[in-house]
Amino acid sequence: MGTSTPMATRQRESSITSCCSTSSCDADDEGVRGTCEDASLCKRFAVSIGYWHDPYIQHFVRLSKERKAPEINRGYFARVHGVSQLIKAFLRKTECHCQIVNLGAGMDTTFWRLKDEDLLPSKYFEVDFPMIVTRKLHSIKLPTLLIAECVLVYMTPEQSANLLKWAANSFERAMFINYEQVNMGDRFGQIMIENLRRRQCDLAGVETCKSLESQKERLLSNGWETASAVDMMELYNRLPRAEVSRIESLEFLDEMELLEQLMRHYCLCWATKGGNELGLKEITY
pLDDT digits (tens, 9 = 90+) for 47-73: 999 999 999 888 878 888 889 999 999
User: For position 26, what pLDDT does the model report?
Assistant: 55
pLDDT at 24 over 90: no
User: For position 38, what pLDDT does the model report?
Assistant: 87
User: For position 29, what pLDDT does the model report?
Assistant: 63
User: For position 118, what pLDDT does the model report?
Assistant: 96
Domain-embedded: residue 16: no
Domain-embedded: residue 12: no
User: For position 100, what pLDDT does the model report?
Assistant: 96
* 104 DSSP 8-state letter: T
Name the CA dihedral angle for 49, 54, 60, 61, rounded to a multiple of 10 degrees. Answer: -20
DSSP lists the bridge partners of residue 102 as: 126, 147
Tell me whether residue 277 is annotated as binding.
no
Domain-embedded: residue 3: no
DSSP lists the bridge partners of residue 149 as: 179
Residues 6 or more apart in contact with residue 60 via CB below 8 angstroms: 6, 40, 107, 109
Are the C-beta atoms of residues 226 and 275 closer than 8 Å to each other? no
pTM tops 0.85: no
DSSP string, 24-77: GGSGGGHHHHHHHHHHHHHHHHHHHTTSS--SSGGGTSPPPSSPPPHHHHHHHH
Residue of higher predicted confidence among 18 and 203: 203
Domain-embedded: residue 20: no
DSSP lists the bridge partners of residue 126 as: 16, 102
Domain-embedded: residue 14: no
pLDDT band, residue 276 (cuts 50/70/90): confident
Mean local confidence (pLDDT), 64-84: 93
Q: How many domains does the chain have?
A: 1
* Amino acid at position 134, single letter: T
**In 3-state terms, what secondary structure has residue 170?**
helix
User: For position 128, what pLDDT does the model report?
Assistant: 66
- Over residues 100-158, the pLDDT tens digits come to 999 888 788 899 899 999 999 999 988 764 433 343 444 446 889 999 999 999 999 99
Q: State the pairing for strand pair 99-103/144-149.
A: parallel
Tell me whether residue 149 is annotated as binding.
yes
Domain-embedded: residue 6: no
Domain-embedded: residue 204: yes
pLDDT band, residue 27 (cuts 50/70/90): low
Are the C-beta atoms of residues 216 and 267 closer than 8 Å to each other? no
User: For position 246, what pLDDT does the model report?
Assistant: 96
Are the C-beta atoms of residues 230 and 212 closer than 8 Å to each other? yes
User: For position 130, what pLDDT does the model report?
Assistant: 47
Tell me whether residue 104 is annotated as binding.
yes
User: For position 139, what pLDDT does the model report?
Assistant: 40
Are the C-beta atoms of residues 120 and 17 closer than 8 Å to each other? no
pLDDT band, residue 257 (cuts 50/70/90): very high
Give the end-to-end CA distance of the chain in Å, rounded to a whole number.
31
- Over residues 165-214, the pLDDT tens digits come to 999 998 888 999 999 999 999 999 999 999 999 988 889 999 999 999 99
Residues 6 or more apart in contact with residue 15 via CB below 8 angstroms: 123, 124, 125, 126, 136
What backbone torsions phi and psi does residue 134 show, to the nearest 5 degrees? -60, -45
Domain-embedded: residue 268: yes
pLDDT at 7 over 70: no
Check which CATH number belongs to the domain holding 113 and give it: 3.40.50.150
Mean local confidence (pLDDT), 241-266: 94
Range of the domain at 32: 25-282
